[in-house]
Structure 1
Amino acid sequence: MVKQERAQRTRTSLIHAAAEVFAQEGYAPASLTTISRRAGVSNGALHFHFANKQSLAQAVEDEAVASVARIIRAARPAGGCVLQALVEATYELMSRLADDIVVRAGFGLGSDRARAGGSGPRRDWERWVGEMLRLAEQEGRLAEGVSGRSATHAVVATTVGLEVLGGEDPEWLSRRRIAGIWELLLPHLRSEIRS
């Protein structure tokens, strides 16, 4: 039991260290030696848990995907307010991108061209946003002339832009900045309240 706990702590430490290195340097220049040093473990310990850099990057990305899945599950619309669920999920995603290096690195790895494979959490986010906005369209909650598809493009482009810009300046991920963006977007997306 103690060995398993120690192994899990080492694995978690390696994922976190890898996320830091991938976020700072990118996938291609990141070295396993740098990652193992940052985690405070030997190269042998790293290779016990991960066969290569690709498998370590996949573990970082998988953790980010799991985090996005938790955000999505928590944001299921209660009482039929799909757009409010979308707004709340956006706040939570941006908060995680600001505060959780594994989530931030996972998003970056998903779009890193130097890395083969990897679907990334961005795709899951895009899929969920699309589902929510199609549902809003079916329920007549989108403004006249706004399709679920065009709304999805706008929201995903905005959130991905925030993610990228937030990597350079964390202010882009602040609640204040996100509130300002939603104040601009929502009136154009939302239909008038019907009685």
Structure 2
Amino acid sequence: MAKQERAVRTRGSLIRAAAEIFDREGFAVASLAMISTQAGVSSGALHFHFASKAALADAVEGAALERLRNIAGANTRESAGRLQCLVDVTHGLARGLRGDVVLRAGFGLCSDPARATPGDLREHWRGWVQETLAEAEKAGELRPGVGPEGAVIAVVAATVGFEALGSRDETWLAPRTVARFWELLLPTLAVADRLETLDSEGPVDA
């Protein structure tokens, strides 16, 4: 059991180290030697867990997807409706991108031109936004004439833009930046009685 736990810890250390290197250097420049040194493990231990740099990149994206799903599932204001959930989760995503190198590297890898088979982390995000806005429409939270398709385009384009710009300048991921975006967008999305209750600032306990 101790050997198995040690292997799990080593794998986790390698994934985090790979995320740090990919985030800092990019996929093309990163090497297995750099990653093993960053993780503090031997080259042999790295190869025991991962056959290639591409396999490590896939593992980082998988870990990032798990984090993204946890962020999307952490709705602390369930009774506030689906639009509020969307606002809160975008704040959670920005917070994760600021502080979680695995999440940040996962998003970066999915659009890295040096990878032969980039992942679809952003597509998972688009799918969640689409599902949430469809639920908001069914619940009568959207203004008449506002279709979820257009709203999906606006939200995904903006949040992915924040993610990309935030890799160089964290003010794009700041709570106030996300709040200002929602201050502008919510009046075009939400019915009047719902708009009065929505909080663009995100959850206070974040």
The answer to whether the 8 A contact 2:90-2:159 is kept is yes
Structure 1 gaps of 5+ residues are none
Give the alignment's TM-score, normalised by structure 1: 0.94
> What do the CA deviations read for 1:138-175 (whole angstroms, capped 9, x no partner)?
33311232210000000000100110111101111111
Deviates more, 1:17-26 or 1:111-120: 111-120
State the match for 2:104 in structure 1.
104
State the match for 2:14 in structure 1.
14
Structure 2 Cα separation of the partners of residues 105 and 150 of structure 1? 28
Aligned pairs, how many? 194
Q: Aligned to 1:84, what secondary structure does the other structure show?
A: helix
The answer to whether the 8 A contact 1:106-1:120 is kept is no
The RMSD of aligned alpha carbons is: 1.6
State the match for 2:182 in structure 1.
182
Structure 2 counterparts to residues 66-81 of structure 1, below 5 A: 66-75=66-75, 78-79=78-79, 81=81
Structure 2 Cα separation of the partners of residues 80 and 20 of structure 1? 37
State the match for 1:159 in structure 2.
159
State the match for 2:204 in structure 1.
none
The answer to whether the 8 A contact 1:107-1:122 is kept is yes
State the match for 1:94 in structure 2.
94
Amino acid at match of 2:47: H
Deviation, structure 1 residue 79: 2.7
The answer to whether the 8 A contact 1:65-1:120 is kept is no
The answer to whether the 8 A contact 1:75-1:86 is kept is no
Q: Aligned to 2:192, what secondary structure does the other structure show?
A: coil
Give the 3 Å change call, closer, same or farther, for CA 77–133 of structure 1 in structure 2: farther
| 2:18 pairs with 1:40 | no
The answer to whether the 8 A contact 1:15-1:60 is kept is yes
The answer to whether the 8 A contact 1:94-1:174 is kept is yes
Q: Aligned to 2:117, what secondary structure does the other structure show?
A: coil
State the match for 1:147 in structure 2.
147
Structure 2 Cα separation of the partners of residues 177 and 28 of structure 1? 31
Structure 1 Cα separation of the partners of residues 150 and 93 of structure 2? 21
Structure 2 Cα separation of the partners of residues 189 and 142 of structure 1? 5
The answer to whether the 8 A contact 1:142-1:191 is kept is yes
The answer to whether the 8 A contact 1:143-1:189 is kept is yes
Amino acid at match of 1:36: S
Deviation, structure 1 residue 118: 4.1
Structure 2 gaps of 5+ residues are 195-206
